[in-house]
Amino acid sequence: MASVTFDHVFKKYGDVTAVNDLNIHIEDKEFLVLVGPSGCGKTTALRCLAGLEEISGGEVRIGERVVNDVAPKDRDIAMVFQSYALYPHLSVYDNMAFGLKLRKTPKEEIKRRVSEAADTLGIQDFLQRKPRQLSGGQRQRVALGRAIVREPKVFLFDEPLSNLDAKLRVQMRSEISKLHQRLQTTFIYVTHDQTEAMTMATRIAVINKGVLQQLDTPQNLYDRPNNLFVAGFIGSPAMNFFRGKLRKDGDKLLVDTGDFSVVIPPSKSKVYENHAGKDVIFGIRPENIHDADFVPANIDSEKVNVKVDVTELMGNEIFLYLMSGSNNFVARVDPRSKLRVGQQATVAFDMDNFHIFDAGTEQAIR
Amino acid sequence: MAVPQNTPETAAHIKRIKKSSAAPTPQIMKQGALTPWLYLLPALLVMSFFIVYPMINTIGLSFQNRDGTASAATTCVEGQSCWGIFENYHYAITAEFNTSSLQAFWKSFWSSSYGNTIKWIVVMVFGTVAFGLGFATLADRVKYEALAKAIIFMPMAISFVGAGVIWKFVYDYGTQQSQIGLLNAIITTFGGKPVAWLSTIPINTFMIVLVGIWIWSGFCMTILAAALKSVPDEILEAARVDGATEWTVFWKIMVPIILPTITVVVTTMVINVLKLFDLVYVMTGGNFQTDVIANRMYTEMYKNFNVGRGTAVAVVLVLTIIPFIYLNIKRFMEQEAAR
Ligand SMILES: Nc1ncnc2c1ncn2[C@@H]1O[C@H](COP(=O)(O)OP(=O)(O)OP(=O)(O)O)[C@@H](O)[C@H]1O
Ligand SMILES: [Mg+2]
């Protein structure tokens, strides 16, 4: 059990900067998820923490201890690899016992811990098998088991579920969450799957091109993205963006996209007033665009005329692919909606839930 | 039905017959029964002529006298034990041994070609595999890996005779006046006394073995390096995170994973050592108790011109090698099956 700190950490491979000035403080017992697109440096950051890569600058601390020059074996961490990385020549039992044996743990203690972990993960029946005689899901459990028996200070996971099928992934996801609650240890988890991130994390660190974009709780990331990248990365289907200008019209402040304009409600206009005249990007999530016939009560809405391009029936909701002039965007509307392909229609933007970003810096204006 | 001739027409014919009787096979696998034999035929002919026939002839000759004109039984000496037509084997197996007492036997065994061959096997196989594995592991961690490996592999490109000559110079005893032996030059520079490396018993055999190790380590390294490369990095990293030192990673993870390859290298090296002849021939000619089985075969055949005895030693050598070849093939098949 320990906190983990990345303090101005850099990792360079020749000209490539895989991790660029990373600052994260992870509290003890936290479940931190690192997300970002492929190649953004998540694995590298994790490997720097594990000691499998030497960092090019900065400081990594586990608890109060600076571990820059500490060998992986002395960092008291356990890591679950994407490829499981089980020892092919050892039985499941010996795979799990390997780290304990190296630490000269008494035999009975090893036995107790391994069978306890095997019970938790439901792999008691395979203890004598070799890894190649197991299915992917079973191997994944063994890899988890190998990490838990060690009772380390910090658990590291590098996309541990990406090789599993969808159903098993959902199941393992909740098992890892349960494990975290039971073990009360620091978990650091890398994934590019935002559903995993949203459902498991206490906090999420969004990384792009080696740079930390935002570090926050899942809800805050969703509701208050710091910049355009985070806004577009978190949420599925992704947030809709419209290029436009902030314009003052009398005492009203509106966003003019050229094809349509929406008025910013007076309660919110104060934040944006100083930015009038600026080029901005207006963002709104699909679920905040409603069929004009089914607008929920008590929301501030703005009508926009659109043409329906494609409809996707999902059963409990409908995805509408809409066009307004040169803008294409998605709405996630009430299943009772009668809008059909090719139809001219009116939709309502929920003006209580929108985001405005500076078109130049791509930072949220707030 | 007529006996099928080796022509494409009959192959096609057979194909048709098979098609009607057997369960449906994919088209691509239907090559007929004869076609493979057709392709094999040239190789089979050449091998029969150059390997199988000489082998049978060798076995035949080993039961005859020194020029193959009469049975080996005729060479028996009055008043001494005789193995009849196995007399050449009698000679091949027992001639080098002094059986007057157990102690004398033990001593003569270790200076015989058999004893020396065992020394060769133990020291050289261990040496080449150990060095090969060591180099392979270390080369994996240096910047100019390819260059380092090329240098270690280079002796493999020198002929054994050439290597023997080179090292004969290195080991040269020289004279009181001039010292051309590199090793002795170094020793005398530091005030030591020159050593007659190739005629001092028992170190001389080991000095030749050293040359063998110098030549063959590169071969072992290449094969073992390929095996080491096939061990996924993540497994080694998992072990390091699990608390293993580099030493433990090597012995508890890497070596067990590549053990099948190590076994193949060991058996291959045993076969190579059993067949080894050139180094001994060039460096000592088998004198000063450095003889090995393969050189003894040559000596009987081409120095003593005793065809019967020479071929008998050859047959003994082949019989010794066969178990190792069997092991190697078995291992190979198992590996193939595991794929
Ligand atoms: N050993 C290396 N040498 C050179 N460049 C590397 C090395 N390892 C990683 N990189 C580069 O560093 C960047 C980050 O890689 P990293 O593996 O951390 O990405 P990732 O976020 O884990 O991506 P993914 O989701 O695909 O696993 C990439 O641009 C990659 O090409
Ligand atoms: Mg990765």
**Is the C-alpha dihedral spanning A199, A205, A206, A209 positive or negative?**
negative
What is the model's pLDDT at position B8? 46
DSSP bridge partners of A204:
A33, A216
Considering only the top CATH level, what class is B115-297+319-338? mainly alpha
Closest ligand (CA of A52): 1
Closest ligand (CA of A22): 1
Q: Ligand 1 centroid to A45 CA: how many Å?
A: 10
Using only the alpha carbons of chain B, give its radius of gyration: 26
Confidence category of residue B4, pLDDT binned at 50, 70, 90: very low
Q: Is A57 helix (H, G, I), strand (E, B) or coil?
A: strand
Q: Helices in A163-275 by DSSP H: which ranges? A: 166-183, 194-200, 218-223, 228-233, 266-273
Q: What is the mean pLDDT of chain A?
A: 92
Phi–psi pair at B141, nearest 5 degrees: -110, 0
Contact B244 A150 (CB under 8 A): no
**Which of B231, B236, B240, B241 has the highest number of chain A CBs within 10 A, making it the mutation to test binding with A?**
B241
* A100-138 per-position pLDDT tens digit: 999 999 999 999 999 999 998 889 999 999 999 999 889
Kindly state the average pLDDT of the residues A176-202.
92
Kindly state the average pLDDT of the residues A57-64.
93
Chain A residues with CB-CB distance to B232 below 8 A = 83, 85
Pull the structure tokens for residue A268. 């919110």
Q: Which of A354, A297, A294, A352 is nearest to A329 (CA)?
A: A354
Beta carbons within 8 Å of A213's beta carbon, 6+ residues apart: A36, A206, A207, A226, A227, A229, A230, A233
Domain span(s) for CATH 3.40.50.300 in chain A: 4-233
User: Angle formed by the axes of helices A136-149 and A107-121, to 10°?
Assistant: 140
Q: Is A153 helix (H, G, I), strand (E, B) or coil?
A: coil
- What is the C-alpha separation between A8 and A23, in angstroms, rounded? 5
* B105-143 per-position pLDDT tens digit: 999 999 999 999 999 999 999 999 999 999 999 988 888
Kindly state the average pLDDT of the residues B39-57.
92
Burial B202-239, CB ≥16 within 10 A → b, else e = eebbbbbbbbbbbbbbbbbbbbbbebbeeeeebbbbbb
Chain A residues with CB-CB distance to B239 below 8 A = 87, 98
Q: Helices in A69-193 by DSSP H: which ranges? A: 92-102, 107-121, 136-149, 166-183
Q: Ligand 1 centroid to A249 CA: how many Å?
A: 49
What is the model's pLDDT at position B131? 95
Q: Which residue has the higher pLDDT, A59 or B181?
A: A59
Q: B260: nearest CA in chain A?
A: A89
Position B25 pLDDT exceeds 70: no
Percent of chain A scored above 90 by pLDDT? 76
* B68-87 per-position pLDDT tens digit: 888 888 888 888 888 888 99
Chain A residues with CB-CB distance to B248 below 8 A = 102
Nearest to B240 among A72, A83, A88 (CB): A72
* A132-155 per-position pLDDT tens digit: 999 988 999 999 999 999 999 999
Kindly state the average pLDDT of the residues A282-300.
91
What is the model's pLDDT at position B120? 95
What is the model's pLDDT at position B29? 65
Query: Mind telling me how many Å the CA of A335 is from chain B's nearest CA?
Result: 48
Q: Ligand 1 centroid to A44 CA: how many Å?
A: 6
Tell me the count of A-B CB pairs closer than 8 A: 62
What is the model's pLDDT at position B176? 64
* A297-352 per-position pLDDT tens digit: 888 889 999 999 999 998 899 999 999 988 999 999 999 988 889 999 999 999 99
Confidence category of residue B31, pLDDT binned at 50, 70, 90: low
Q: Which residue has the higher pLDDT, B144 or B332?
A: B144
Query: Mind telling me how many Å the CA of B234 is from chain A's nearest CA?
Result: 6
Position B52 pLDDT exceeds 60: yes
What is the model's pLDDT at position B337? 78
Domain map of chain B by residue range? 115-297+319-338
pTM of this structure = 0.80
* B153-198 per-position pLDDT tens digit: 999 899 999 999 999 999 988 776 677 888 988 888 888 888 888 8
Atom of ligand 1 nearest to the CA of A44: 18
- Measured in residues, chain A has a length of 366
Which amino acid, one-letter code, is at B284? T
Beta strands in chain B (DSSP E): none
Which CATH number fits the domain A242-358, given the four candidates 2.40.50.140, 1.20.1250.20, 3.90.700.10, 2.130.10.10? 2.40.50.140
Percent of chain A scored above 70 by pLDDT? 100
Q: Is A223 helix (H, G, I), strand (E, B) or coil?
A: helix
Pull the structure tokens for residue A49. 């923490």
Q: Which residue has the higher pLDDT, B31 or B303?
A: B303
What is the model's pLDDT at position A42? 94
Element of type H or E holding B94: helix B87-94
Confidence category of residue B41, pLDDT binned at 50, 70, 90: very high
Q: What is the 3-state secondary structure (H, E, C) of B167-194?
A: HHHHCCCCCCCCCCCHHHHHHHHCCCCC
* A62-104 per-position pLDDT tens digit: 999 999 999 999 999 999 998 999 999 999 999 999 999 999 9
**Is the C-alpha dihedral spanning B260, B220, B137, A46 positive or negative?**
negative
Beta strands in A222-288 (DSSP E): 240-249, 252-256, 261-264, 279-284
Q: Is A363 helix (H, G, I), strand (E, B) or coil?
A: strand
The count of C-alpha atoms lying within 13 angstroms of the C-alpha of A171, restricted to the half-sphere facing its C-beta, is 11
Report angle CA A197, A203, A207 to the nearest 5 degrees.
65
The architecture (CATH level 2) of A4-233 comes to 3-Layer(aba) Sandwich (3.40)
Beta carbons within 8 Å of B291's beta carbon, 6+ residues apart: B112, B113, B116, B280, B299
What is the model's pLDDT at position B3? 40
Kindly state the average pLDDT of the residues B316-320.
93
Kindly state the average pLDDT of the residues A29-33.
95
Q: Distance from CA of residue B64 to its chain's centroid?
A: 28
Kindly state the average pLDDT of the residues B202-218.
93
- Residues 62-91 in A contacting B (C-alpha not used; CB under 8 Å): 71-73, 75, 77-79, 81-83, 85-89
Atom of ligand 1 nearest to the CA of A37: 25
Confidence category of residue B28, pLDDT binned at 50, 70, 90: low
Contact B241 A72 (CB under 8 A): yes
DSSP-derived pairing of the beta strands A186-190 and A31-35: parallel
Kindly state the average pLDDT of the residues B210-223.
94
Task: Please state the ipTM of this predicted complex.
Answer: 0.85
Closest ligand (CA of A41): 1
Kindly state the average pLDDT of the residues A227-251.
92
